[in-house]
């Protein structure tokens, strides 16, 4: 008897759904049913457009969403169909991208805090830049002094080599000239590396200065220093 009642319920509701009955009408139809006649009701529309109902999710709707209805006709729960391999791949990519964006946001927040805790003003950023570049320039001057000495040694070796224009040059002198060439090349390479590093330093400070301005313009408050404090940290976080 219960089975026949359940079948009548499903036919009635299916008819209302196929007829595109207003939600109020469907709710009224469900409300008049006795509590003993009510069971779980699942509704779905197959890929070919058929509306199916049942007290369990219809097997024909395993690839489409299935709605579980309350007594008032409202949706209690939606059972989503299993994801296809392509949908799984897309969802995994979206999740990976979301996590990466969150990681980047956390890292940017960390850098912003470090920037505001390191510098109290744009002038401090410029002063830190000048000190850092001065240290690099000192390395260049030292390398140039060493290069000057190496070239002086080369002149002495060349003067000595003139005695062997018409005879075989001693191996020791030949190796000394070759070593001198290597030392000159190394010093020149070192100087070029330092100059390239100075360019990167300028780019880094330019970026920090621009970001500092952006943060302050948005209302961020940098570190506050006593009026007589003259020293600042010269690095931000883990550069």
pLDDT one digit per residue (tens) for the chain, 239 residues: 444 445 555 555 555 555 444 445 445 555 555 554 556 788 888 888 888 888 888 888 888 888 888 877 788 888 888 888 888 899 899 999 999 999 999 999 999 999 999 999 999 999 999 999 999 999 999 999 999 999 999 999 999 999 888 889 999 999 999 999 999 999 999 999 999 999 999 999 999 999 999 999 999 999 998 866 654 444 444 34
Query: What's the pTM value of the predicted model, to 2 decimals?
Result: 0.59
Backbone φ/ψ region at 219: left (φ over 0), alpha (ψ -120 to 50), beta: left
User: What span, in angstroms and rounded, lies between the C-alpha atoms of 222 and 59?
Assistant: 63
- Residue 49 has a pLDDT of 85
Sign of CA dihedral 193, 194, 199, 203: positive
Gap between the Cα atoms of 142 and 136, Å rounded:
10
Q: Look up residue 16 and give its two tokens.
A: 């209302």
Q: Helix 23-31 to helix 2-18 angle, to the nearest 10 degrees? A: 170
Q: Look at residue 66 and give its three-state secondary structure.
A: strand
* Cα angle for residues 39, 44, 46 (degrees, 5° grid): 145
C-alpha 179/C-alpha 11 separation (Å) is 99
Alpha-carbon distance of 163 to 149, in angstroms, equals: 23
The confidence score (pLDDT) of residue 10 equals 53
Sign of CA dihedral 9, 10, 15, 17: positive
CB 129 within 8 A of CB 205: yes
Cα separations in angstroms, 179 against 54, 142, 162, 201 = 91, 20, 18, 33
């Amino acid at each position: 008897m219960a089975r026949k009642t359940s079948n009548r319920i499903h036919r009635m509701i299916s008819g209302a759904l196929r007829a595109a009955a207003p939600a109020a009408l469907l709710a009224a139809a469900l409300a008049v049913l006795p509590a003993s006649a009510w069971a779980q009701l699942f509704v779905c529309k197959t890929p070919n457009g058929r509306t199916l109902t049942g007290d369990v999710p219809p097997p024909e709707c395993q690839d489409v969403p299935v709605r579980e209805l309350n007594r008032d006709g409202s949706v209690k729960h939606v059972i989503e169909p299993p994801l296809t391999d392509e949908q799984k791949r897309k969802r995994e990519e979206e999740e990976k991208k979301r996590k990466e964006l969150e990681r980047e946001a956390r890292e940017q927040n960390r850098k912003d805090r470090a920037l505001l805790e390191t510098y109290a003003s744009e002038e401090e950023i410029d002063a830190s830049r000048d000190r850092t570049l001065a240290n690099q320039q000192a390395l260049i001057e030292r390398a140039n002094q060493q290069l000057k000495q190496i070239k002086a040694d080369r002149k002495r070796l060349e003067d000595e080599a003139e005695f062997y224009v018409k005879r075989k040059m001693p191996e020791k002198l030949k190796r000394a000239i070759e070593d001198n060439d290597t030392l000159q090349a190394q010093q020149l390479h070192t100087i070029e590396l330092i100059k390239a590093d100075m360019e990167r330093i300028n780019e880094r400070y330019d970026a920090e200065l621009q970001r500092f301005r952006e943060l302050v313009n948005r209302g961020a408050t940098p570190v506050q220093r006593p009026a007589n404090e003259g020293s600042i940290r010269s690095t931000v976080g883990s550069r």
